Structure 1
């Protein structure tokens, strides 16, 4: 379990699990999310929320992992643009450790 800071003063935080991070990777939620300017603001958070809503609506199978991610992290009361930025940083640190690159076949 990881804890991300949700505001600049550090008075609010959000708990993030490995399962949440695996769900982000499984659905590629951060791919093409941030514009070329690299700024994470409220519009980026809104875009992520809309992308997840679309995925859930289009799912024929069980989307419990997406729903858990939404309830626990994305739609958390403390989640703002700063929290999303911290979540992206955590994900980028987590990714190499938990998803080793596939070895090339010769």
Structure 2
């Protein structure tokens, strides 16, 4: 079996395919400028720039978490879906590319990638 311990835990990949996020029939985000974060042991996540997110539909949640590999999170909710997205406002130095971008919980919304 190959030893993967030398592989980086997290890699970031510019993503030019169209990414759309829906809550039911409501479009929440639409971009061709996502960054795909690939973290060992977790599903790939699309980090969407705020310019591609309808921020008027989201409110800041009281939930806060910390990842030792990315930093502290700010969570966002829709009126009827708690903690639907999160953002690293001030990530650790190695993750600055995702600063201020939002990732969505795909168990709570629909993510379409074209």
Same fold (TM over 0.5): no
In proportion to residue count, which structure has more helix? 1
Q: Which structure features the higher share of strand residues? A: 2
